[in-house]
Structure 1
Amino acid sequence: MSVKATRTGIVLRPDPTRVLFRPFELGSTRTLKIIARVNAMSDAEVEVKLNEVIREFGGRHYKLERFLLQRFEQIRPQLLTDEPLSLERKLLLGAYFTMEYSLESAALFNPSMIWHPDQTNVPPGYKRFILSLRATGEGHVSSISFRMGYIDEEGKIVLRKPSRYVTSPEIVPNHRFNRTQFERKLYELRLENSIQEKMMIGLGEEFSLPELEAQIKRISAQYRYNAEYETIASGLLALARSNYEIDFDDDQSLDERCIFPTSPNETNGIEDARFVQFTEDNDEVTYYATYTAYNGRVTFPQLLATKDFSHFSVSTLNGAEVANKGMALFPRKINGKYAMISRQDGENIYLMYSDDLYFWQTKELIMKPTYHWEYVQLGNCGSPIETEAGWLVLSHGVGPMRKYAIGAFLLDLNDPSKVIGRTTEPILSPDENEREGYVPNVVYSCGGLINGRELIIPYAMSDYASSFATVNVDELLAELTGKAKPELVADIAR
């Protein structure tokens, strides 16, 4: 009999009260009219209206007034004169161009679970974890939300009640680009030509977005109304804006932080982040997440990197084999190379190696849909987990009626192209309580953890809410290896 997961009964549902502020964008004509109306108000009227806004919204947000001033600075160029404005009028103008956005009003799903980098002051036998989730709100725009919790000495999962506040980060204005990597990507995008060379003349081995924008503006001004120059300029800027850095305030709790779509590739959302604790050969740790950026037409695999969950860098993944969804990074190098599980063709599982974390040029087919519950397609459910028996990978399969189920397979530690074993039946399938949601008949995960002798699987229920299930590691690896009593002490420390 095949191994089956045990459900915990924990259900994490979307909370529409978790709202953040976002720019309320209007056309230039309407913007001018609104500014004129606000500037026609008397000082007394401005004070009354601003106090009303602060009373109604101040308790719902973290540092509301700071954001309102930022919004004012963004619409300042639309002002018709340089006449000084009072602080109150600036704040009120900012409020008219700000909106609340319910981060997870539609869904909170596709979780990924990693150990918290801070395990200080934890009781003996307890361990903190971070749960990242795909939060979806108005317009079906997805972002990354966080929750925190711990596992107690008896293996019980306890989620911490999240803060009332949620805030998107500040974009780091002085992000520097590596010219060599930038030009390699331009070559792949077929944007490397004499026009591009002119637009990058004078830029150093490292340059910033403002420096690139200024150079493009100078060159484009010489060739006004030239469609080819405009196309190249647009491509250069889109690439630059898709590689950026973000910062959160250190005094914000992790569950108050939201990574909201920012770049041109992400206009319709950030989807399915697969976080992994990556350990370099020198034992330095970085937390990476591969995710899918979506602009409403095309999906783009991208990479998040952080050491502290306060400062993140966002980068495009490049190379001939960067395609489709579901790329998942191994937690360390293998034989001196970065390694990735992937699915370029939409149905099979591949293995990729690279000397450069950001460029992936080759792939190797390692698994095809074989069993009835995965005939439509196979994919991973997060990064491989290292055990003494091999690399344990959670998988998903799609069968009749587009029903998603979760299975597992095991790869050789030194040569992951060798499949040691795979589950012939799902270890988790949607039950009657999980079948209904935004996308029916789906269970899905973006990465689990091993705690003691238990594999913890955070999973989504029909693209709406999330839960947890557990599987005994010994039983699962015994099935995958075909051994009754395998030597399979999990490498829990990683």
Structure 2
Amino acid sequence: MNLVTKHGVILEKTINSFECLGVLNPATMQEGNTVHVFYRAVRDGNFSTIGYCKLDGPLKVVERSKTPILYPETPEEFQGVEDPRISKIEDTYYLSYSAYDGINVFGAFATSKDLKTFNRKGIITPRLTFEEYSKLIKKNFQKINRMHLVFYNLFNRYKLSNLIKNKIHVWDKNIVFFSKKINGKFAVLHRLYPSIQILYFDSPEELTKEFWEDYISNLQKHIVLSPKYKFENSHIGAGCPPIETKDGWLLIYHSAQLTHKEYTYHACAALLDLENPNKVIARLKTPLFSPTESYEKEGYVANVVFPTGTAIFNKELYIYYGAADSCVAVASININTLLTELKKSKNEKNNKK
């Protein structure tokens, strides 16, 4: 979309060992003129921690920690804590992230009152093996987008190759909290390949295996967005925490397009109903922005823009994203202009309700 301005790279890797391979996919929390940035920091061997820096205004880095603010502590996080997002609900910050043990990826979160000390709350996504997941999906395959079977089949072949002896669990990532409770419950976007689903819960303790078995058996009713357009032909996932506007929840998400055996990741936008975010009000029919610059097209993983955080200054929506899995960059668009463009697309057919 030519209404987007790209401001370039604001964070790059350093000689510090924890971020010597790359920095990417930042969570952002705006407080007045300050933007707190929690980014994925990668060291040699593709081990990830979460680093921190502070911005004065949307672009100027004025402080940067020389050590990680969050690092692996549990077996599920052995290979890294990755791709954070952050939301504030009442007086508490919710930092969600992907826990990666080298084989499996789970969605987890931690809370904080001061953005300095974080209290881990653990994994909130299903701990189901692919065998268990596939049985639940196959039982209801006529109701569910058949693409949900692709991920299972892919990893089933992977397992049968005998390269891995451990149990392989279903991957669930891109965990993003809404900034307020909806109907008294936490509302969280997540991604069971290839779509974006919504999860409501009162407490993490209720997210038992039985809960997830029922949830996945009725997965269709939890899907918010499924891949629809050419630039989404592989999969999509929640990007930045939804922004509450008078027109609805503004969701900046990512899509993966498979072309000639290579992926291109785009930034996309949709508008969800304020009272019932399962309901899609509008959705852009073209990407919000795509890899066009050298720092987006060349890097650890080529052709990637991966939006994960936002801030608003003078009606300008700044979108913070990982570029080519190597650095952190920023793009912006007037938020009213974006909402106007979205409302032009209101003929989006709601997936249910």
Q: Do they superpose with TM above 0.5?
A: yes
Q: Which residue of 1 aligns with 2:153?
A: none
Q: CA deviation at 1:3?
A: 5.7
The answer to whether the 8 Å contact 1:350/1:366 transfers is yes
Q: CA deviation at 1:149?
A: 1.0
Q: Which residue of 2 aligns with 1:135?
A: 41
CA distance in 1 between counterparts of 2:106 and 2:225 reads 23
Q: Which residue of 2 aligns with 1:260?
A: 71
Q: Which residue identity does 2:47 align to in structure 1?
A: V
CA distance in 1 between counterparts of 2:237 and 2:186 reads 19
- The percentage of aligned residue pairs carrying the same residue is 32
Kindly indicate whether residue 24 of structure 2 is the aligned counterpart of residue 109 of structure 1.
Answer: yes
CA distance in 2 between counterparts of 1:4 and 1:297 reads 40
Query: Comparing both chains, which one has the higher relative contact order based on Cα–Cα distances under 8 Å and sequence gaps of 6 or more?
Result: 2
Kindly indicate whether residue 192 of structure 2 is the aligned counterpart of residue 386 of structure 1.
Answer: no
Which stretch shifts more, 407-416 or 361-370? 361-370
CA pair 265-274 structure 1, distance change in 2 beyond 3 A: same
CA distance in 1 between counterparts of 2:93 and 2:187 reads 15
Q: CA deviation at 1:359?
A: 3.9
CA distance in 2 between counterparts of 1:286 and 1:462 reads 32
Q: CA deviation at 1:319?
A: 6.1
Number of equivalent positions: 289
CA distance in 1 between counterparts of 2:340 and 2:206 reads 36
CA pair 465-483 structure 1, distance change in 2 beyond 3 A: closer
Q: Which residue of 2 aligns with 1:334?
A: 182
Give 3-state SS (helix, strand or coil) of 1:258's partner: coil
Give 3-state SS (helix, strand or coil) of 2:286's partner: coil
CA distance in 1 between counterparts of 2:127 and 2:283 reads 25
Listed one character per residue, the Cα deviations across residues 361-388 of structure 1 (whole Å, up to 9, x for unaligned) are 4351121111111110011112111111
Q: Which residue of 1 aligns with 2:266?
A: 405
Q: Which residue identity does 1:159 align to in structure 2?
A: V
Q: CA deviation at 1:334?
A: 0.7
CA pair 332-138 structure 1, distance change in 2 beyond 3 A: same
Listed one character per residue, the Cα deviations across residues 142-162 of structure 1 (whole Å, up to 9, x for unaligned) are 0000010121xxxx5211153
The answer to whether the 8 Å contact 1:333/1:339 transfers is yes
The answer to whether the 8 Å contact 1:379/1:397 transfers is yes
The answer to whether the 8 Å contact 1:317/1:359 transfers is no
The answer to whether the 8 Å contact 1:290/1:328 transfers is yes
Q: Which residue identity does 2:332 align to in structure 1?
A: T
CA distance in 2 between counterparts of 1:459 and 1:479 reads 21
Q: CA deviation at 1:316?
A: 1.7
Alignment map for 1:62-141 (pairs within 5 Å): 102-116=17-31, 127-141=33-47
CA pair 321-267 structure 1, distance change in 2 beyond 3 A: closer
Listed one character per residue, the Cα deviations across residues 47-99 of structure 1 (whole Å, up to 9, x for unaligned) are xxxxxxxxxxxxxxxxxxxxxxxxxxxxxxxxxxxxxxxxxxxxxxxxxxxxx
| Aligned Cα root-mean-square deviation (Å) | 2.0
Alignment map for 1:319-468 (pairs within 5 Å): 320=126, 324-344=172-192, 346-357=193-204, 359-360=206-207, 361=211, 362=215, 364-399=222-257, 400=259, 401-433=262-294, 434-468=296-330
Given candidates 81, 95, 98, the residue that maps to 1:292 is 98
Q: Which residue of 2 aligns with 1:91?
A: none
Give 3-state SS (helix, strand or coil) of 1:303's partner: strand
Alignment map for 1:223-242 (pairs within 5 Å): none
The answer to whether the 8 Å contact 2:111/2:119 transfers is yes
Q: CA deviation at 1:432?
A: 3.6
Once superposed, which parts of structure 1, at least 4 consecutive aligned residues long, lie more than 3 Å away? 318-323, 357-363
Q: CA deviation at 1:357?
A: 4.3
Given candidates 44, 48, 54, the residue that maps to 1:148 is 54
CA distance in 1 between counterparts of 2:38 and 2:77 reads 18
CA pair 358-431 structure 1, distance change in 2 beyond 3 A: farther
Q: Which residue of 2 aligns with 1:158?
A: 60
Given candidates 114, 133, 137, the residue that maps to 1:308 is 114
Listed one character per residue, the Cα deviations across residues 108-158 of structure 1 (whole Å, up to 9, x for unaligned) are 001111124xx6xxxxxxx1110111000022100000010121xxxx521
CA pair 357-383 structure 1, distance change in 2 beyond 3 A: farther
Give 3-state SS (helix, strand or coil) of 2:45's partner: helix
CA pair 385-479 structure 1, distance change in 2 beyond 3 A: same
The answer to whether the 8 Å contact 2:48/2:80 transfers is yes
Max radius of gyration: which structure? 1
- Greater percentage in strand: 2
The answer to whether the 8 Å contact 1:4/1:426 transfers is no
Q: Which residue of 2 aligns with 1:68?
A: none
CA distance in 1 between counterparts of 2:235 and 2:63 reads 36
Give 3-state SS (helix, strand or coil) of 1:326's partner: strand
Q: Which residue of 2 aligns with 1:5?
A: 4
Listed one character per residue, the Cα deviations across residues 229-280 of structure 1 (whole Å, up to 9, x for unaligned) are xxxxxxxxxxxxxxxxxxxxxxxxxxxx53121111111100101111122x
The answer to whether the 8 Å contact 1:288/1:303 transfers is yes
Give 3-state SS (helix, strand or coil) of 1:305's partner: strand
Listed one character per residue, the Cα deviations across residues 12-43 of structure 1 (whole Å, up to 9, x for unaligned) are 11011x2xxxxxxxxxxxxxxxxxxxxxxxxx
The answer to whether the 8 Å contact 1:3/1:476 transfers is no
Listed one character per residue, the Cα deviations across residues 296-346 of structure 1 (whole Å, up to 9, x for unaligned) are 1111211111011232111223465895111111111011111111112x1
The answer to whether the 8 Å contact 1:278/1:332 transfers is yes
Q: Which residue identity does 2:84 align to in structure 1?
A: A
Given candidates 471, 474, 480, the residue that maps to 2:342 is 480
